[in-house]
């Protein structure tokens, strides 16, 4: 079975550093729970799979060289259209058109370079500006989160900014793959980003650089409280959180705040590993592909089941991040604090095509341990903090709740 992934590109975070998109997964294909005109949309049913029988080239006779209406249309376009177009261009446009016909904004097409960038982003290495992207319901592209000390952070880009243009390229309603590809580039090159912030246009010049992804940050607070911030579920995040939680089980550790705000998702396997750090076996998530049995993913076992946990979420918490929050909430293992999450409960699976490009399709939906479907609904926190209250207020409330859990835990231990 292909390894699952869950994203919101993020998300192919998506999920993508969503410079690379984190909306899904790399070669070999993986599932994620984290996008692309009529004639063009019909041209390539078989081309992308490499089984076309028609003769490539404008000199071909459509009536004799084509084995289908699709081949005939491609040959006719190349031979007679006023504007020259290659078979490769038609193939790409056709695949994008077919995906658009699905009416699924999470389905996506990646050119070979885009797919390679996508894989690099999930591995935590790429050259770009250091942001994760997310797609809104209307197809607009937003900055989901900004990596600390990245070129974007230094230029003043903020989570929540709407991305409209990258250089001269209009990406206002482009797929996340297109937007992410435009953001990436050689180290040292610069690009102007047109953003919308609070409805007002803002141009920001960003200098690209080699970005070493650090998607887990750990802060030690007074009283043994540990804040574990996860920006996205890229490779290695699960083991990084395990190391942090292992440290939390020492004598001075009292509780953990798992901060998933603005996390667009990523690899489902990493999400399961993170949830496992706080569970001793049992259900984390399940999902079902069309015409296949339900797949159940359980915690790995031997997690820290005693340290009090608060999960901090907001409306940018999506996909794989929602898997973790919902699992810990359903299993009564954590108190969820913040605002309602995004509601990305579908799973995407990318597959490579013969030319190195890839298509990513929605192949199913996931269920929380209690059987909840989160797609389009999201997670209602146990303790609600309005987004209008601001980030600092949400953090303060999370710490207050955690200290209450710690006090209750200490009291029961003494009793």
Q: What is the pLDDT of residues 301-313, one digit of tens each?
A: 889 999 999 999 9
Contacts 24+ apart (CB under 8 A), 387-396: 387/314, 387/315, 387/339, 391/261, 394/261, 394/312, 394/314, 394/337, 394/338, 394/339, 395/257, 395/259, 395/312
Residue 290 is predicted with a pLDDT of 84
Report, as an integer, the average pLDDT of 177-196.
89
Out of 91, 150, 259, 344, which one is annotated catalytic?
344
Which comes out higher in pLDDT, residue 11 or 341?
A: 341
Concerning whether 330 is annotated as a catalytic residue, the answer is: yes
The rounded Cα 198 to chain-centroid distance in angstroms is 24
Per DSSP, the residues of 53-75 read -SPPSTTS-HHHH-SSHHHHHHH
Least confident among 177-186, 350-359, 386-395, 400-409:
177-186
- Select from 117, 150, 160, 168 the least CA-distant residue to 13: 117
Residue tagged active-site, from 71, 120, 314, 330: 330
**Please, what sign has the CA dihedral across residues 84, 87, 92, 97?**
positive
Which CATH number is associated with domain 112-212? 2.30.42.10
Which of 11, 177, 182, 170 lies closest to 96 in space, CA to CA?
Answer: 177
Residue 222: per-residue pLDDT? 84
For 44-85, the pLDDT digits (tens) are 222 222 222 222 233 334 444 435 888 899 999 999 999 999
Summarize the confidence of residues 201-215 as an average pLDDT. Answer: 86
- CA angle (75, 78, 84) in 5-degree steps: 175
- Cα 365 from Cα 147, distance rounded (Å): 29
C-alpha dist (Å) from residue 273 to 210, 214, 300:
28, 17, 7
CA dihedral 373, 375, 379, 380 (to 10 degrees): -90
Between 46 and 219, the higher pLDDT residue: 219
Q: Please report the pLDDT score of residue 61 as a whole number.
A: 40
Q: Model confidence at 389, in pLDDT bands (50, 70, 90)?
A: confident
Average pLDDT, stretch 176-180?
79
Nearest CA to 12 among 115, 160, 129, 147?
115
Question: Is 80 exceeded by the pLDDT of residue 123?
Answer: no
Residue 248 pLDDT exceeds 80: no
Instruction: Residue 343: name the closest of 103, 35, 135 by CA.
Output: 135
Residue of 236, 265, 195 lying closest to 33 (CA atoms)? 265
The pair of structure tokens assigned to 305 is: 């089941």
Whether the CB-CB separation of 118 and 16 falls below 8 Å is answered with: yes
* Residue 28 preceded by cis peptide, ω within 30: yes
pLDDT at 189 over 90: yes
Residues 143-165 as b or e (16 or more Cβ within 10 Å = b): bbbbbeebbbbebebebbbbbbb
pLDDT in tens, 132-164: 887 776 778 889 888 878 899 999 999 889 999
412's tokens: 């029961």
Mean pLDDT of the chain: 79
Asked if 268 and 151 touch (Cβ cutoff 8 Å), the reply is no
- Percentage above 90 pLDDT, the chain: 46
| Partners of residue 361 on adjacent β-strands | 349
Question: How far apart are alpha carbons 381 and 370 in whole angstroms?
Answer: 15
Local confidence band at 320 (pLDDT 50, 70, 90 cut-offs): very high
Kind plus residue range of the DSSP H or E element containing 101: helix 87-101
Domains 112-212 and 216-350+362-414 share a fold: no
As given in the structure block, the two tokens for residue 186 are: 């050689």
Looking at per-residue pLDDT, the higher value among 181 and 97 belongs to: 97
Least confident of 95-99, 107-111, 119-123: 119-123
Rounded distance between C-alpha atoms, residue 119 and residue 342, angstroms: 24
* DSSP assigned state of 373: B
291-304: average pLDDT: 91
Q: Tokens 């980003």, residue? A: 193
pLDDT at residue 212, as a whole number: 67
Set 319, 339, 346, 357: catalytic member: 319
Task: Evaluate whether 32 touches 143 at the Cβ level (below 8 Å).
Answer: no
Say if domain 216-350+362-414 classifies as CATH 3.90.226.10. yes
Beta strand pairing status for 346-352 and 162-166? Answer: unpaired
268's tokens = 């489902």
**Span 93-100, average pLDDT:** 90
Q: How far does Cα 295 stand from its chain's mean position?
A: 21
The DSSP code for 328 is: H
For the chain, the distance separating the N- and C-terminal CA atoms, rounded to the nearest angstrom, is: 49
State the pLDDT at residue 340.
Answer: 95
The domain segmentation of the chain, as residue ranges, is: 36-103, 112-212, 216-350+362-414
Contact 72, 44 (CB under 8 A): no
């Amino acid at each position: 079975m292909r390894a699952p992934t869950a994203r919101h590109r993020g998300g192919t975070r998506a999920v993508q550093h969503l410079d690379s998109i984190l909306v899904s997964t790399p070669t070999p294909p993986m599932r994620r729970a984290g996008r692309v005109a009529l004639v063009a949309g019909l041209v390539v049913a078989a081309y992308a799979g490499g089984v076309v029988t028609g003769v490539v080239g404008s000199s071909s006779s459509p009536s004799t060289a084509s084995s289908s209406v699709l081949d005939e249309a491609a040959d006719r376009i190349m031979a007679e259209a006023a504007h020259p177009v290659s078979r490769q261009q038609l193939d790409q446009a056709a695949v994008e058109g077919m995906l658009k016909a699905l009416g699924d904004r999470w389905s996506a097409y990646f050119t070979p370079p885009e797919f390679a960038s996508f894989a690099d982003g999930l591995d935590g290495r790429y050259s770009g500006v250091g942001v994760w992207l997310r797609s809104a319901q209307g197809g607009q592209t937003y900055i989901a989160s900004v990596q600390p000390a990245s070129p974007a952070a230094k230029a003043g880009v903020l989570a929540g900014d709407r991305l409209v243009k990258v250089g001269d390229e209009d990406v206002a309603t482009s797929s996340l793959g297109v937007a992410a590809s435009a953001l990436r580039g050689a180290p040292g090159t610069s690009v102007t980003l047109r953003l919308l912030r609070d409805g007002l246009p803002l141009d920001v010049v960003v200098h690209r650089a080699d970005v070493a992804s650090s998607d887990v940050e750990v802060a030690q607070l007074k009283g043994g409280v540990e804040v574990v911030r996860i920006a996205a579920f890229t490779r290695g995040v699960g083991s990084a959180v395990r190391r942090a939680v292992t440290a939390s089980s020492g004598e001075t550790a009292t509780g953990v705040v798992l901060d998933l705000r603005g996390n667009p998702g990523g690899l489902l396997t990493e999400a399961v590993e993170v949830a496992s750090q706080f569970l001793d076996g049992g259900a984390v998530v399940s999902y079902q592909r069309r015409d296949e049995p339900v797949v159940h993913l359980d915690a790995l076992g031997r997690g820290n089941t005693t340290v009090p946990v608060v999960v901090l979420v907001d409306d940018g918490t999506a996909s794989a991040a929602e898997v973790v929050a919902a699992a810990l909430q359903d299993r009564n293992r954590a108190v969820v604090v913040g605002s309602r999450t995004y509601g990305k409960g579908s799973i995407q699976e990318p597959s490579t095509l013969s030319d190195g490009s890839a298509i990513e399709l929605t192949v199913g939906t996931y269920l929380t341990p209690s059987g909840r479907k989160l797609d389009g609904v999201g997670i209602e926190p146990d303790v609600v903090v309005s987004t209008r209250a601001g980030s600092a207020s949400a953090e303060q409330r999370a710490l207050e709740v955690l200290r209450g859990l710690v006090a209750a835990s200490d009291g029961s231990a003494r009793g």
